Structure 1
Amino acid sequence: MRNVFRRRRREQPEQVGEQESAAPTRESGPWDADEPHPESDRIDLGGLRLPHNADFDVRLASVGDQHVGVVVLYEDSSLQLQALAAPRSSGLWDEIKTKIQTQVKDLEEREGPFGSELVGELRTDGETRPARYLGVDGPRWFLLAVIAGKAAVDESVAEAYIDFIKDVVVVRGDEPMAREEPIPLRRPNEQQGGEGDERPGLNPFKRGPEISEIR
């Protein structure tokens, strides 16, 4: 599968200098945009910056005209990512775990690479697939990741997704946002306030599956 998004341009020189002078304080992310993190080519979707992996098929997930998440396809598996605004004083994962357990039956809670996670099944389009629900609480944001399909039960496939999540950068921004409001995303060739250049007749950014299990 090919990655349908262009890679993000490297950080501006002054940003690179800041990152080089302040080494990351953790071994891996997901990273907050305002904390020191490894500089690399990333796909810039506004609220999320994703590591580039040529084997992944990356699509924006939309509700109406709003881009609310990302779907990554690889090895008969999928990864859904959604970044939400969170309170400054506390995280959301414990609360969202309870909501998931209410909506999805027969889930097992276990420890994973990001702490507590849920393992069970995901039902979409009338089909049931094995699934892992992972949550990461950040500063004023929460990142929900749902791995479904082969990668939910095969660690050799899951490893590629876990490494991907560990290098995601979340851009919360300073704008006031309601609790659990999706952090806005955009196509990588769109700039704030306008459209970027796009070649005539080429529209690789077709809409991917909706992220509809958790609202």
Structure 2
Amino acid sequence: MVFRRGQKGDSDRRDRVSEADAYGDLSEIKDEERKISLADVSRAAGPWDFNEVEDPKAGRVDLGALLVPAVEGMELRLEMADAEQVIAATVVSRQSAVQLQAFAAPRSEGIWAEVRAEIALEISKQGGTVDERDGPFGIELRAQVPVQAPDGSRGVQLVRFIGVDGPRWFLRGVVSGQGAVQPKEALDIEHVFRDTVVSRGNTPMAPRDPIPLRMPAEAQEAMQQQAVPAEEGSQYTQGDLNPFERGPEITERR
């Protein structure tokens, strides 16, 4: 299913970042960008809570718990646990991607520090390596994750785990592609993460429970019109629900 709707992102921000490799020395980043990267993240520039934005649906794709800003030329993939349950949204822009997931969090404290430790431990068990670095959203993880290619060969995938604690929610992003290694290439998807609105709702939820997502109305209408069984080649494909492997998904282009 393909939908098109253009909207420009903050392309002027590209001039503010040096071409220093994301795995290189932070001293290579310009002083003004270093101040932004190393500042204590207060969410003064996002991501946003639903109650902090005057019109949270304006210019954004409504996925229920997440309202994701439209970026010109972006591709939106919804990862499915089954034919109805959306578990994550992935935005692809050029040669970079960011997977977005929102989770419930305690009222009094954030969970990103604990989540980082758990992610690092899991990747280490898989034989990968993880470094904590300062990034545009505070402390992030830059990881080399062992993966198996379709031809059976083994390799590593470079990814960044970014996270921000909000009021009773936590937003996690997994950055892959060129955005995981080149700061300049990550600007569009970092803008998507920063301008995403989280709608936690008032339903009681245990900490770390995923906040439910839903398909946008356009996708639901297109699915009803197509009504093609999965075994006959619908947009759903089989796969592990793994942050490093693409799960069942539908695709929307903007």
Scaled by the length of structure 2, the TM-score of the pair is 0.66
Instruction: Tell me which structure has the larger Cα radius of gyration.
Output: 2
The Cα of 1:157 is off from its aligned counterpart by 1.2
- Could you say which residue in structure 2 is the equivalent of 1:41? 59
Determine whether 1:74 maps to 2:93.
yes
- Cα pair 2:146 2:156 within 8 Å, conserved: yes
Compared CA separation, residues 206 and 91, structure 1 to 2 (3 A): farther
Give the CA RMSD over aligned residues: 3.0
AA at the equivalent of 2:103: L
The Cα of 1:119 is off from its aligned counterpart by 0.7
The structure whose residues are more often strand, as a share, is 1
- Cα pair 1:33 1:169 within 8 Å, conserved: yes
- Could you say which residue in structure 1 is the equivalent of 2:235? 206
- Could you say which residue in structure 1 is the equivalent of 2:206? 178
- Could you say which residue in structure 1 is the equivalent of 2:178? 150
Alignment: residue pair count: 191
- Could you say which residue in structure 2 is the equivalent of 1:61? 79
Distance (Å, rounded) in 2 between the aligned partners of 1:87 and 1:5: 38
The Cα of 1:96 is off from its aligned counterpart by 0.2
SS at structure 2 position matched to 1:177: coil
AA at the equivalent of 2:92: L
Higher mean C-alpha deviation, range 102-111 or range 125-134 = 125-134
Q: Percent identity?
A: 36
Distance (Å, rounded) in 2 between the aligned partners of 1:91 and 1:155: 26
- Could you say which residue in structure 1 is the equivalent of 2:46? 29
The Cα of 1:36 is off from its aligned counterpart by 3.4
Scaled by the length of structure 1, the TM-score of the pair is 0.77
The structure whose residues are more often helix, as a share, is 2
Determine whether 1:166 maps to 2:184.
no
Distance (Å, rounded) in 1 between the aligned partners of 2:100 and 2:163: 10
- Cα pair 1:131 1:148 within 8 Å, conserved: yes
